[in-house]
Amino acid sequence: MARAKPKLIKERVPTPEVPVEERVRSFVEVNLGYDFASALKEAERCIQCPPEYAPCIKGCPVHINIPGFIRALRENPDNPDEAVKNALRVIWNDNTLPAVTGRVCPQEEQCEAPCVMGKVGEPINIGKLERFVADYARKHGIEEALLREFMGGNGGMKGKVAVVGSGPAGLTCAGELAKMGYKVTIFEALHKPGGVLIYGIPEFRLPKEILEKEIAKLRELGVEIKLDYIVGKTVTLEELLEEYDAVFIGTGAGTPKLLNIPGILLDRIYTANEFLTRINLMKAYLFPEYDEPIAIGKKTIVIGAGNTAMDAARSALRLGTEVTIAYRRGREDMTARIEEIQHAEEEGVKFEFFVNPVEFIGDENGKVKAVKFEKMRPLDERDSRGKRKIVGTGEYITLEADTVIIAIGLEPNRIISEEATGLKTNSDGTLVVDENLMTSIPGVFAGGDAIRGEATVILAMGDGKKAAKAIHNYIQAKKANA
């Protein structure tokens, strides 16, 4: 007799969100995530593809055992603590910041894109399940117990490693090395750790409290974090190499690209980095309760279409201005996560496509009052990244704006490469590394945006992890030969 096939549930179990009217004036987190019952329901939809085949695993840049953690979650329906602990153990094997990645990864392009369930209905909501596991574990004190399990450490006796930068790449590299038994010190230029996660991504997407807890876990693992320390200025790379067995550079891509067009120095034209740093790191949205000011008008134009542009646009909206995102390509070429684009639309951000800024126009006080754009036309040809090529039409439009935020991209800063002469860079400032992520200086490794230009949180973490293994091999080989 044929066994009854389990019924496929085509629709996702939704996650609740803060209503639009409530959230557009506040920085509270928009998505509220699953509770255990709804997470279980969503987990039940997974058909448990065998791990050697599971397309979701292949789609994940760090190959989290997704069917494995989903199975663990559903195996103990009556004991949520146990279920979450087992699921978290599976995730931590590959990713120690699930509360972050569950919130900011572009799942729709990674694990969820090839999910088999996506062929018959909606793919499994992997991101929200990952986030649920992390959030539940944090709230119920499950992480501490698991952390002890993961500590194979021997009090830093294996060697000493310096990590430069406390973004996702640096944090991951430091965590992995600490777990292996290394003494790790992170050097961070800013006064708070986290990299883009602290100064770039707003509270309504990634609450600071969650990030702080993630970083506290590292400190528990014995990682020391030296803030206000700029490698290349406060201390040189050479000095670090004298004191440490190896160095990991995870300095990210923090230098904003500017538009080289007339009017760029006008008042109230911000780079997204300045705007977001004032708001996120310095809490300018709470001015004058906090001292950091921000000046903003009634009509804001954000130039760009990535996550940075969405974050800037939605932050500006919350400060009480009208916002239009202006992009030189079309809707389908926007690089931001779908969820962020949808949230931006729901919240009332407007979009102008196929417009390329050519001039900022100022008023008599030197403040911006409008932006002149050339209208662009898409061609059938595609460029190397698969985006449709565009050409100028020679037609222009002018849009009024009393605030402009430029979010057209970032490149790596050259603080270290300018100081450490032996460190090779590519023309765009990214560091040259070999297949083990070692730079041109022996014992110095690098990863994340510092080698990729702009990438993603999970890719930076993947690099951090890969570098940690390579650093371990390097130090042990050196010690064996000594």
Partner 1 sequence: MGYKITKKENLSAIDFFMEVEAPHIARSWKVGQFVVLIPDEKGERVPMSVYYADDGRIGMFLRRHGITTFKLWYEFDVGDEILSITGPLGKPIDVKYYGNVVFVSDAVCAQAESYATLKAMKEVGNYTIAIQTFENAANVYPEKYLAKPVADEHYLTTEDGSVGIKGHYLDVLKELIEKDKVDIVFGGGKLGSLKKLAELTRPYGIPTIVTVRQIMVDGTGMCGSCRVLYDGEIKFACRDGPMMDAHKIDWDDAIKRNARFAEQEKIARERYLAKLREKGVI
Ligand X SMILES: Cc1cc2nc3c(=O)[nH]c(=O)nc-3n(C[C@H](O)[C@H](O)[C@H](O)COP(=O)(O)OP(=O)(O)OC[C@H]3O[C@@H](n4cnc5c(N)ncnc54)[C@H](O)[C@@H]3O)c2cc1C
Which residues are at the interface with ligand X (CB under 6 A)? 104-105, 164-170, 187-190, 195-196, 200-201, 230-232, 250-252, 254, 276, 307-308, 311, 337, 413, 415-416, 448-450, 455-458, 460
Helix (H, G, I), strand (E, B) or coil at 63: coil
Minimum CB distance to ligand SF4 smaller for 39 or for 451:
39
Instruction: Please tell me what DSSP assigns to residue 7.
Output: P
Minimum CB distance to ligand X smaller for 228 or for 395:
228
* Using rule CB under 8 A, residue 358 touches partner 1: no
Task: Give the one entry of ligand SF4, partner 1, ligand X, none that residue 66 binds, where binding means its C-beta sits below a cut-off of 5 to 8 angstroms depending on kind.
Answer: ligand SF4
CB crowding 22-48: b at 16 or more within 10 Å, else e: ebbeebebbbebbebebbbebbbbbee
Identify whether the C-beta of residue 456 lies closer than 8 Å to the C-beta of residue 467: no
CA 256 – CA 107 distance, rounded (Å): 26
Site string for partner 1, 398-417 (x = CB under 8 A): ---------------x-x--
Cis omega before residue 202 (within 30°)? no
Q: How far is the CB of 166 from partner 1 (least distance, A)?
A: 14
Task: Give the one entry of ligand X, ligand SF4, partner 1, none that residue 271 binds, where binding means its C-beta sits below a cut-off of 5 to 8 angstroms depending on kind.
Answer: partner 1
Percent helix, strand, coil in the chain, to 5, is 40, 20, 40
| Dihedral pair phi/psi, residue 98, rounded to 5° | -65, -25
Of 36, 49, 153, 229, the one binding partner 1 (CB under 8 A) is: 229
Task: Give the one entry of ligand X, ligand SF4, partner 1, none that residue 159 binds, where binding means its C-beta sits below a cut-off of 5 to 8 angstroms depending on kind.
Answer: none
CA 247 to chain centre: 23
Pairing of strands 403-406, 269-271: parallel
Beta bridge partners of 368: 362
Task: Give the one entry of partner 1, ligand SF4, ligand X, none that residue 86 binds, where binding means its C-beta sits below a cut-off of 5 to 8 angstroms depending on kind.
Answer: none
Instruction: Looking at residues 289 to 328 of the shown chain, list those that interact with partner 1 (rule: CB under 8 A).
Output: 289-295
Q: Judge residue 326's burial from the number of C-beta atoms within 10 Å of its C-beta, 0-12 exposed, 13-18 middle, 19 or more buried.
A: buried
The angle formed by the CA atoms of residues 407, 412 and 414, to the nearest 5 degrees, is 130
Q: How far is the CB of 229 from partner 1 (least distance, A)?
A: 6
Identify whether the C-beta of residue 97 lies closer than 8 Å to the C-beta of residue 107: no
Q: How far is the CB of 99 from partner 1 (least distance, A)?
A: 23
The angle formed by the CA atoms of residues 302, 306 and 311, to the nearest 5 degrees, is 60
CA 317 – CA 429 distance, rounded (Å): 33
Task: Give the one entry of ligand SF4, partner 1, ligand X, none that residue 274 binds, where binding means its C-beta sits below a cut-off of 5 to 8 angstroms depending on kind.
Answer: partner 1
Residues 6+ apart with CB under 8 A from 195: 165, 166, 167, 168, 169, 170, 171, 250, 252
Q: How far is the CB of 434 from partner 1 (least distance, A)?
A: 27
Q: How far is the CB of 210 from partner 1 (least distance, A)?
A: 19
Summarize as ranges the residues that interact with ligand SF4 (CB under 6 A).
46-49, 54-56, 66-67, 115-117, 124, 126
Q: How far is the CB of 141 from partner 1 (least distance, A)?
A: 26
Which of 270, 278, 375, 385 lies closest to 334, judged by CA?
Answer: 385
Q: How far is the CB of 366 from partner 1 (least distance, A)?
A: 4
Minimum CB distance to ligand X smaller for 248 or for 354:
248
Task: Give the one entry of ligand SF4, ligand X, partner 1, none that residue 167 binds, where binding means its C-beta sits below a cut-off of 5 to 8 angstroms depending on kind.
Answer: ligand X
Minimum CB distance to ligand X smaller for 374 or for 449:
449
Minimum CB distance to ligand X smaller for 83 or for 323:
323
Minimum CB distance to partner 1 smaller for 125 or for 271:
271
Task: Give the one entry of ligand SF4, ligand X, partner 1, none that residue 54 binds, where binding means its C-beta sits below a cut-off of 5 to 8 angstroms depending on kind.
Answer: ligand SF4
CA 440 – CA 425 distance, rounded (Å): 9
The residue ranges that bind partner 1 (CB under 8 A) are 189-191, 226-230, 233-236, 254-256, 258, 260, 264-265, 267-268, 270-271, 273-274, 277-278, 282-283, 287-295, 366, 413, 415
